[in-house]
Amino acid sequence: FDESLRRIQCMSLMQELLYRSDQPARIDFADYLRQLCDGLVRSANPTGARLAVVAEPWTVDVDQATPLALIASELVSNALMHAFPTGHPGTVTVELLPDADGMRLTVRDDGVGLPPGLPSPQRRNGGLGLVLVQALAQQANATLRVERGPGTTFTLSIATQSARRSKAA
């Protein structure tokens, strides 16, 4: 129930920002990320983890923003709830930065890492959240990479429309 409520709140925030936007079909995704993370750290943070957001301005159309918003919500809330089970707070870092092919969304924590038995999202047999993230990444025309080690890093490489046009030329 809590996960469903969180996803509804994620979409509600997007609708609110679209309503206030001067471009009704586009959203400043950096602003969205900051507000989403602020809400998540206040509501879904049982360990008191710190959350740092570094986001370059990026205006994206709502068709691409919707799956990206759900991905960000899923990854950040999972990190806040599961990365620090021993009780000592750590840090979750969210970055939205330009890269060679468009934009890169990274959610990184310095917690315990993914359990060894938990499959990767690339194998499509992970938990429901990881399967959802992979499906949404495809919908957003993005690729997902997961790094295990100390902590966990999810990196989403998002091809922007200008990068897709230059590759097609």
User: Per-residue pLDDT tens for 63-115?
Assistant: 888 899 889 988 998 898 888 887 777 999 999 999 988 999 999 999 988 87
pLDDT band for position 9 (cuts 50, 70, 90): low
Q: What is the mean pLDDT of residues 8-29?
A: 68
Give dist(CA 2, CA 159) in Å, integer.
32
Q: What local confidence, expressed as pLDDT, does residue 126 receive?
A: 52
For residues 20-47, average pLDDT: 82
Give bridge partners of residue 54 from the DSSP assignment. 95
d(Cα 103, Cα 58) in Å, to the nearest integer? Answer: 8
- Assessment of whether the complete model's pTM goes beyond 0.75: yes
d(CA 88, CA 29): 31
Taken in order 38, 50, 83, 60, the sign of the CA dihedral is positive
Which amino acid, 83? A
Identify the pLDDT of residue 40.
84
Distance CA 6, CA 24 (A): 24
